[in-house]
Chain A
Amino acid sequence: MGYTVNFTAVWGSFDKLMAGLALGLGLAIAAVLMGSVIGLAVGFASVSPIRWVRTTASLYVTVFRNLPILVIVLVAYFALPDLGISLDKYTSFILSLGIYAGAYLAEVFRAGLLSIPKGVVEAGRAIGLTRLQTNFYVIAPIMLRNALPALGSTMISLFKDTSIAAVIAIPELTFQARKINTETFRVVESWSVAAGLYVATCFLLAAGLRRLERQFPKF
């Protein structure tokens, strides 16, 4: 075979890999937060009684769910400066991933909204709550509870997508692995460890999510 597996080079840089992993998680969390805000707004908009609001929401979702993240990232970082908007790497990536996440989460929240029994909403109106109050105190809490599993799995998905940050030289896990690869030529070791770290993290996130779902069962 001519290739002896030697992990020393990788273990030596393990701290950098872990730092990259942590960075990836941080980026994912930032993107989920941003995406949730967008997703809630767009989700509510998609069930609005006003037609143009619904159409705009639907358009946003269709466009950003069908665009590759890489394209969005490249546009945000390389093309926006043409319009005078110059962002640093991190901001532009979080913006890109956040807008992408927003489209997915909008669908999640929309499904959650549609699954709320009509009678409960009417009960809220019957005690005199305004439309806004009903949205805030009755609909949103129930919807967020029901949307929890989908929210969690979107988060895990987004964490994997943070690997694309490597393309614009953000030093997250994939970037570090590629660096070790090109510097030491330890291909098998570097990539298997990187993959292993991603898989392990996703596994832990999924287990945590299951735990959370048991605590807060759906209505």
Chain B
Amino acid sequence: MSDADFKMLKARPEIRSIDAEAFPKTLPLDGIVRYDMRVNRYRSGDIVVREGDYGNSAFLILQGELVIARSPGIPAEQLGRIQTQREGVLKRVASLWRNSWVPEVRDVDRYGRQTEDQGARTRKRGAYLQDVPAIMREQDTIILVEGTLFGELAALGRVPRSTTIFAESPAVVMEIRWQGLRDIMKFDQKWRRKINDLYRDTALKSYLRQIDILSGVSQEHSSAIAKHCLFETYGTFDWNVTFRRGKPDEPVIASEGDYPDGLLVIRAGFARLSMRYGKGRRTLTYLGAGDMYGLHELYQAWKDPTSTNLRLKFTISALGYVDVIRIPATVLDEHVFPNIRKPHDPNVDALQRNVAEDALMEWALDKRYMNGTQSMVIDLDKCIRCDDCVRACAATHNGNPRFRREGPIFDHWMVANACMHCKDPVCMIGCPTGAIHRSIEGGTVLINDDTCIGCATCANSCPYNNIVMVPIRNRQGIPVIDTAESGLPIMKATKCDLCAGRPGGPACVRACPHDALTRFDFRDFQVEAMD
């Protein structure tokens, strides 16, 4: 950050009002401003955040105004998304002889045909909107004025951006990384209150209503619960970095033997439930978004305060990153427990299993496979290593397979190196053009080859090495070189797209004659493996 920008930020009332004395010497406010914030200058049409993107930063408007395109929303094509269309029969017939023997051949003229406005040759499609006046005419918009803070929900809660925000006219915006935002919230009460209140006002009530035990409570009780909820975050947002280095974080949220002071509701991320076993810790299960911990013990304490068996039976720890809502015990006693029946404790069932039965869970959580919604699992007791799956994948992707039939093995299960279409898609964080995105239709994580600039942010972020950067070639099979700038081959990110647009689902699954290959959500896989 330049000194001028630093001074400008320090002079802003929002920053000036922060009590710098409250910050420890090891983490001064100036350091956060300088290293966790940056000043972005947007031109007319520049997209600040795209609907559906996973971001890791929040924004504060310093000068000018931004526009929320509320309804009907910016067309996906203008946001750099792929419109997955069902592939016609003729095209599929043609693929029988048109698939190239040369790897990663592209129609490079297509990239040239991508419309770029004459005055902004450096701007990539997906990073700006072309016809802002038309968008302003056709969209139901909301204007965000100077001083507005936005994007904090996606930055702190690992949820997709709910709307597209762009600049109609030039604007200056401060962007703050989630780490900086979290630190400021930790040491400055006003910011903490401001952001928590924003969340309470915008999303919390509707979220709480989705929780089973709270779905039946009245509006009045619901408001009281929302008012007292506490927001906690454990682990690091970019857990994939430490995981890839082989030193995964797993901070403890609540320990076995502690007295529970509130119900823990997982809002985002995953948590491991474990207990002491011998000299180690035995994993019983994991909790994902919407799961709760401590309900049974809290209910017992409310029902029979004299009971001696009120301590937590298990330890709950963050598998990388987890966002928790803590509903205090007193709030539950007053507003929830009188209206519900004794809850079943699902975790007790896990104690019926032996450690050998839990070994798969232990292994999978250590590998962080709970994240996968479409993990490619191969039963090696059935697989005859014929590679029909790989060939089918190549046949449906212009001769280029989009996965590798290799990967970690547990017992007779192999989790192959194919995109798992994660619940927490860390690969989507930081894509500068929004080329990697979740399809609205099916939740599949897709890469738009047209807007991918080959920066490898997604490939470097994927904790499972399931995104591969490839040098592309033209139709003559000659590698395409970036002659204008680096002189290096032009790269594109590639990965499994679940055969989007092809009828019948992933070709790899359909091609396996021995029913050895399946795409699993991890919870279903566990059930299958148990069987």
A binds B: no
